[in-house]
Chain A
Amino acid sequence: MDSASIIAAVTGVTKRWTKQRKAEERDASRTVRRGEAMIRSCRVTLKDASFDAIPEAYRKASSDGRLPAHARQIMYAARGAIQERTGERLDDRYFTQSLLPEYLRVYRAKTADWDVVFDARGHFCEPHTGRVVPLGTLEVRAHLHSQRSAQQSESRVVTRTLFPTRGPEHRYGAVLFIEKEGFLPIFERAQLAKRYDVAIMSTKGISVVAARQLVDELCGKHQIPLLVLHDLDKAGFSILGTLRRDTARYKFRNKFDVVDLGLRLSDVEEHGLDAEDFYLKAKRTSVRSNLLRNGATAEEADFICNGQRVELNAFGSAELIAWIESKLAAHGIRKVVPDTAALEQAYRRAVHDEYVSRRVADLNREAAQFAAEATIPKSLTAKVRTALTQAPADAWDIAVRRTAGRYVARTLERNKSKNDDNKQQGEVNDNI
């Protein structure tokens, strides 16, 4: 028997107490929560405290349900109470990405009328239109709303624009999903989206709910395929899996094709890509079954479970583009050509536009002369000030435009009356 054994035994049994007391020394308020900290059954977990605090936090953040509440706003409203009860620091990412979504899922009925929105964690880019939708709740919702409500009724003067489209119809034939944001400039430079008429969606890792909601709507309603580009690793197959099947966080409403365009072991071998070693944290058996479930072959599952992975970054940019294009071609992704009716409609619209375009050039010249001959009001400054007093939200040039508009209207009216008089006089003269 030695002293070290005795000291080790004593420090062993007092370890938890020591930790608690040291925490109390750093933060005196922890003394009052000693019971909660020391007694397991009394201990309030972050989850318990969050679930208790979320309803009131949502009420505050949403102004009693009148406005949407951002997940981070709810986090700020709840954080004080949660930290007070648990004595632990609340990680905002843990709250917004895990605790709050879980609460919404568990209390689905209770939160059915809640409007909780989440941060954008990726982008969706349409080809040709240049329309970019951040993959956040509000942005996706607005995009889908505009797509549903917009009709083809337009009153336009400006010409030579694209045929108006909302969503995939007549614009793109597939959505290309990639699990990395960094490749977008390369794709843009290679005009990948334009050359293949594909919309490109990119996220940072696993797709967010907003992204899944968007592809559900776009691909499901318009029956276009979702092409998924991913790494040859555990996360890559998980990304593919979460886009193919329902999860706790999102259940798909529509059925559509999800095409695996990801990096497979055959690609690695064919292109001689370098694998990298990584440390497998989780249990090998569970990782393997997860990989198989998400579409990996047994060989690929073994490859990954043996601590190896290959990222899309293993390609050079040119090789990557070439490889993707080969995959797109292999899956029959081609340029979009609308049906005959749409083509005829587009043709007439183009004729209209060309006509207007040419006439507008003449009109511009006439307008320039009219403007040059216009009389500037002497009290223009006073008029602008008066207008801004009446409409404080307006800019000064709006006030100028409004004044000029009245001048143009009066002048054109006067010119018109003069022309009408001249015309009548001419008719009288003719009759005489």
Chain B
Amino acid sequence: MVCAHAESRAYRLNGCDLRIREAGIEEQKVEFTMTASANLSRTAFRTSRLLDFLSEKELTAQIGHSKAAWPLVTVKELLDNALDACEEAGIQPEIEVVVDDEGIVVTDNGPGIAPAVVEAVLDFSTRVSSREAYVAPDRGAQGNALKTLLAMPFVLGGEEGGVQIISHGVGHEIQIRVDRIRQTPEIDHQQHAHNGQFVKNGTSVRLRWPNSPSSESNELSTTDDEDDLEEIDLPETDSASSILSRAKSRFLQFADDFTFLNPHLALGADWHGERMVVQATNPQHSKWRPSQPTCAHWYEPEHLERLAAAYIAHDHATGRERTVREFVTEFAGLTSSAKQRAVLDATGMARKKLADLVNNQGLDRSRIEQLLAAMRAHSKPVKPAALGIIGRDHLRARFAAIDCEMETFEYRKVCSAGDGLPWIIETAFAWCPTLERRRIITGVNWSPGIVNPFRELGAFGESLDSVLERQRAGRDEPVVLLLHIACPRVAFADRGKSSVVVED
């Protein structure tokens, strides 16, 4: 039976009266009182959100992959970051991945990470991203990759692990500890001068993997197909070291996958002395760089609204007022005064502040739509080729390097720019008799997927795997398939970016 009251609701359950009183909306809090034979007035305990972040469940949700794939997540996030940093600085990326007794180290020749940025990363209450609000063909866009890596050693081995970052002549030793009584995490961040090779350029990030395996440890599992990694059912008692050991084969292959998608990348990988080096096939490879302006045609109103809101919030925090003209200037093809004036005249937003677009419900959607329409009208769409084409020659070289029969090599490239949104699909295939099983290299915007991200294609949800099965290229076939898409606006179905949403 339910009895409604003006200020509270009362229920009778199992012989007990249950009364729920709703608090003010602004407090977003609900209090529960229970009337029974014995009364207990419960206390609302406060716990740290950071501690949630440091649980396996939460971190798995953040990363989008189970523990078995975390070594791959580590190399993916660090390589993505390193490549982005190098491209942004116009440097040909030379990256070294090493797995040794202490864990995983990724070293690049990029511009480095300033100490202030490292400090900002340690603030787990905020998300810091220079990608998230923009629509662009970026490798990553969530702004929490480095945070998840900082948490990973702690989740895997408690206080045993840690992270070391060396850049800009500073060595950062970062370790997370927990005050078990107060249940609060404490981040121990020690800095020291570092006079090694990273005084000026480059970054070295070391994940001190808890109980790192030695080179003599047995490899528990090798996989040739990324899907298998997801199928590794780790027992609860599995140690962090065995997770890393199991991942060896796939780890090295996955690092190698980056070289397939990035013709300008020179990569060295070392697993306890077992070394692999891949030279760049095209150091001058041209692709869209994160530092390039984005294009208005890549945005839908909700995307532009998100970007404008991010600017307004950022400006508010930094005490700045940005005009609509300044906002428009950031877009490709709208840097000239004439173009800006044309957009502002068309929208009647000359001399308007960006914050003027805010109304009671947030940003005024109609004005955002008006602004976007004007920006599109006065700028040209970006041609697909400007995004960057991996190319037949590079893929031919990489397929040859892994002993494919090159006379069976096939390559297809499809480009389009429907509605101003450019995209490129590149596929390559070859028979590789030395393989025992199929190898798939899938990637979005030059970043390989840990698992095949094309798991739902078309109205009937056909997966890439089922297409390949139908094409007699199932997982037991000795073939290599590469599928890469480049597009400024790629939707993922999950937070870990493991599944691409593709239109019918």
Contacts and interface: CB of A to CB of B under 8 A. Distances in A.
Nearest to B456: A3
Q: Give the contact-size bracket for chain A.
A: 20 to 34
Interface in A1-60: 1-18, 21-22, 25, 34-35, 38-42
B408 A16 contact: yes
Given A10-B481, A10-B483, A1 B423 contact: yes
Interface stretch (B32-40, B65-73, B426-434): B426-434
Contact of B462 (A7, A22, A35, A42): A7
A306 B458 CA distance: 48
A277 B416 CA distance: 43
B427 A12 contact: yes
Contacts of B431: 17, 34, 38
Interface string B101-138: 00000000000000000000000000000000000000
Contacts of A9: 412, 414, 425-427, 483
A216 to B, nearest CB: 47
Contacts of B503: 1-3
Given A3-B458, A9-B414, A14-B481, A35 B427 contact: no
Interface stretch (B85-93, B202-210, B355-363, B469-477): B469-477
A38 B472 CA distance: 14
Given A17-B429, A35-B433, A38-B431, A10 B471 contact: yes
Contacts of B479: 14, 17
A12 B410 CA distance: 8
Contacts of A2: 502-504
Contact of A1 (B410, B425, B481): B425
Contacts of A11: 467, 471
B254 interface: no
A394 B467 CA distance: 75
Contacts, number: 101
Contacts of B412: 9, 12-13
A34 B431 CA distance: 10
Contacts of A3: 457-459, 462, 502-504
A4 B472 CA distance: 19
Contacts of B464: 6, 10
B4 to A, nearest CB: 50
A18 B416 contact: no
Given A3-B502, A21-B472, A41-B407, A14 B429 contact: yes
Nearest to B408: A38
Most chain B CB neighbours (cut-off 10 Å) among A1, A17, A25: A1
B331 interface: no
Most chain B CB neighbours (cut-off 10 Å) among A4, A13, A34, A39: A13
B481 A39 contact: no
Contacts of B487: 1
A1 B405 contact: no
A170 to B, nearest CB: 66
Nearest to B426: A9
Given A1-B503, A35-B405, A13 B427 contact: yes
Contacts of A5: 414, 416, 425
Nearest to A19: B472
Contacts of B426: 9
Contacts of A14: 410, 429, 468, 471-473, 479, 481
Interface residues of B, number: 37
Most chain B CB neighbours (cut-off 10 Å) among A8, A9, A11, A15: A9
A1 B485 contact: yes
Contact of B502 (A6, A12, A25): A6
Interface in B191-230: none
A393 B151 CA distance: 105
B411 interface: yes
Nearest to A14: B471
Contacts of A16: 408, 410
B299 interface: no
B288 interface: no
B425 A6 contact: yes
Interface string B271-288: 000000000000000000
B414 to A, nearest CB: 5
Given A35-B433, A41-B407, A18 B472 contact: yes
A255 B284 CA distance: 70
A13 B481 contact: yes
Nearest to B483: A10
B454 interface: yes
Interface string B391-411: 000000000000001011011
A396 B66 CA distance: 99
Interface in A151-189: none
B457 A22 contact: no
A21 B462 CA distance: 21
Nearest to A40: B407
Nearest to A12: B412
B410 A21 contact: no
A10 B407 contact: no
Interface string B416-441: 10000101011111010100000000
A62 to B, nearest CB: 38
B429 A13 contact: yes
A375 to B, nearest CB: 90
B502 A10 contact: no
A9 B428 CA distance: 9
Nearest to B428: A13
B467 A39 contact: no
Given A7-B462, A13-B427, A1 B407 contact: no
A16 B472 CA distance: 10
Interface in A261-284: none
Contacts of B477: 17, 21
23 contacts: A1-B425, A1-B487, A2-B503, A3-B457, A5-B425, A6-B454, A6-B485, A7-B458, A7-B462, A10-B467, A10-B481, A12-B427, A13-B410, A14-B472, A14-B481, A15-B410, A15-B471, A16-B408, A17-B408, A21-B477, A38-B407, A40-B407, A41-B407
Given A14-B410, A25-B472, 4 more contacts: A4-B458, A13-B412, A16-B410, A18-B473
Interface of A: 1-18, 21-22, 25, 34-35, 38-42
6 nearest interchain CB pairs? A21-B472, A3-B458, A13-B429, A3-B457, A13-B410, A1-B423
